[in-house]
Amino acid sequence: MTAPRADSASLQRATLTASSLAVIVVMLNVSIVNPALPTLGRVFGVGAHDVPWVANVYNIVFAAMLLAGGLLGDRFGFRRVLLAGLTLGVVGATISALAPSFGVILAGRALQGLSSAVIQPATLVLLTLAFTDGAARARAIGLWAGVSGLGIAVGPLLGGTIIDTLGSAAVFWTVAATALGTLLFTARRTRELAPPRPRPIDVPGVILAVTALATLAYGLSQGNVLGWSSAPVLACVGTALLAAALFVAVEGRSPHPLVDLTLFRHRAFTTANVGSLVASFGPFGLLVFITLFLQGVEHVSATRAGLITALFPIGIGVASPLGGRLVSRIGVRGVGAGGLALIGVGLLLVLGLRVGASPVILAAEFFVMGVGTGFANSALTTATVSSAPAAQASQASSVLAAMRQMGVALGIATWGALIARSGDGSVGFLAGLHSAAVVIGAVVLAGAAGVWIGLSSPAGAAAARPANEGT
């Protein structure tokens, strides 16, 4: 039997549909679950300082395994890996929905993180294989990115509505049903578009990356609970530092590294990736804890909390295409630094948060941070791809995606650690939000300055130069 042509219209449509549905599953794994955190805390008897691990165990596994996800696609075929990832997603969401204890729900979320790490790179590669014409490929990827943004934007409100009407377990059943429907469609309507290209997988690198990120995040989150000088916290931080050092050593010597460290010799590449980590570090952690504040302190419904926080992804969706146009006019340096500055200002505005304050003001602050994130992502993605050698463009994109997820994971842990320092109760939680906003807002503003300086070198200037300059 002759394999279908990669550029046949029906196969292209099926591949675009499957890829778009699959990336919705990835986005829902984050956006639809956050509004459920307060309810899950009550159901399992878990405090406000521990329940964020429902979000963070997902982010840690996602970040650490994202780089390996693309290698699995090369080795076994991207369609096959996409199907496996969707299957894992169904299993993980089902475990989370049926979980009898908090530990079991964390295991389900870890499987969902692994699922997303496999799904996301496979969807983009399948699109590039299906659409061979450059213009058609650009339109397909643009639609894929738009659907991704829609999944982020709809998730908080959808999750809140489901929780208020059907309960927290229904959130995970929704994700499971979406993943299952996507799995069945993909299995029936798509085909493998390229033969597998077996490549060795850097297993030691994967293990060390997971160990470093997980132990650091756990140590940060438990510092105020167990004491910063306690043996478990010191052991976690020490293990993280040791694993990180070993990761650098192993990657530098491996013939097939998980991360090609030579990419970081390019100043613009390093600047853009660190800037992307910082952009994710600030607002995404706040989303988790502001949800706990709105439902636990302000006693608003999950639906209303989801509506308020939905202004953040809406801001990203509005600013991302505008950021791309601004980059073509003024370059990545100004847009990237300006985006981070907007995020920092939005975080500092949290200092005005009070019990009983107007939700409109908080929603506006999230919109400002969303706009800043959209600008920063557009600019720093362009800087990353432009500063990396053409032969390493795929690896550069994977590193960037992993750095963003690392920022989310470390951000949640850091927000939690700083909030916990202010004590328990409504007053302590609000004071913790304020103190954390000052520290993390300052870090993000410092990141804005770092991007401005880091992209001012000759290499950075080349990446930052507008596309029409010199023509």
How does pLDDT run across 80-136, given as a tens digit for each residue?
Answer: 999 999 999 999 999 999 999 999 999 999 999 999 999 988 887 888 788 877 677
- Looking at per-residue pLDDT, the higher value among 68 and 168 belongs to 168
Cβ partners under 8 Å of residue 306, min gap 6:
35, 155, 156, 157, 158, 159, 160, 161
Which pLDDT score is estimated for 459?
46
Whether 21 shows a pLDDT value over 90: the answer reads: yes
Give yes or no for residue 460 having a pLDDT over 60. Answer: no
CA separation (Å) from 243 to 117, 212, 214, 247, 399?
Answer: 21, 5, 10, 6, 18
For 263-466, CATH gives: 1.20.1250.20
Instruction: Return the pLDDT at 383.
Output: 86
- Give the integer Cα–Cα distance in Å for 303 and 199: 46
Task: Judge whether residue 467 has pLDDT over 70.
Answer: no
Q: What is the number of other CB atoms lying within 10 angstroms of the CB of residue 306? A: 29
Q: Quick check: do 8-201 and 263-466 share a fold?
A: yes
- On the question of pLDDT at 363 being above 70, the answer is yes
CA 168 centroid distance within chain:
22
How far is Cα 301 from Cα 290, in angstroms, rounded to an integer? 13
> Has residue 265 got a pLDDT over 70?
yes
Average pLDDT score over residue span 185-196: 84
Looking at the predicted structure, is the pLDDT value of residue 220 above 70? Answer: yes
The answer to whether 375 and 333 are in contact (CB under 8 A) is no
Q: What SS3 class is residue 51?
A: coil
Place of tokens 């927000």: 415
pLDDT value of residue 3: 43
Nearest Cα neighbor of 220 from 421, 368, 395 is: 421
DSSP, collapsed to helix, strand or coil, labels residue 192 as coil
Per-residue pLDDT, 141: 72
Are 335 and 379 a contacting pair, CB within 8 Å? Answer: yes
Looking at residue 402, its pLDDT comes to: 84
Question: Under CATH, which architecture does the 8-201 domain have?
Answer: Up-down Bundle (1.20)
What CA–CA distance (Å, rounded) separates 123 from 78?
A: 8
Q: Does residue 190 come out as left (phi exceeding 0), alpha (psi in the -120 to 50 range) or beta?
A: beta
Domain boundaries, the chain: 8-201, 202-257, 263-466
What pLDDT is attached to residue 88? 96
Would you state the structure tokens that stand for residue 402, as one six-digit string?
A: 């992993």
Average pLDDT over residues 426-431: 85
pLDDT for residue 468: 45
CA dihedral 151, 156, 162, 165 (to 10 degrees): -150
Q: What is the pLDDT of residue 152?
A: 77
Q: Find all residues with CB under 8 Å of 320, minimum gap 6, and list them.
A: 145, 149, 374, 377, 378
Q: What's the confidence (pLDDT) of residue 426?
A: 78
Average pLDDT for 404-433 = 84
* 249-259 tens-digit pLDDT: 998 888 888 88
Query: For tokens 């950021």, what's the residue?
Result: 323
- Cα–Cα distance measured from residue 437 to residue 346, given in angstroms and rounded to the nearest whole number: 9
- Please report the pLDDT score of residue 221 as a whole number: 73
451 with 267: CB under 8 angstroms?
Answer: no
Q: What is the pLDDT of residues 268-319, one digit of tens each?
A: 999 999 999 999 998 988 988 898 888 888 888 988 888 888 888 888 888 8
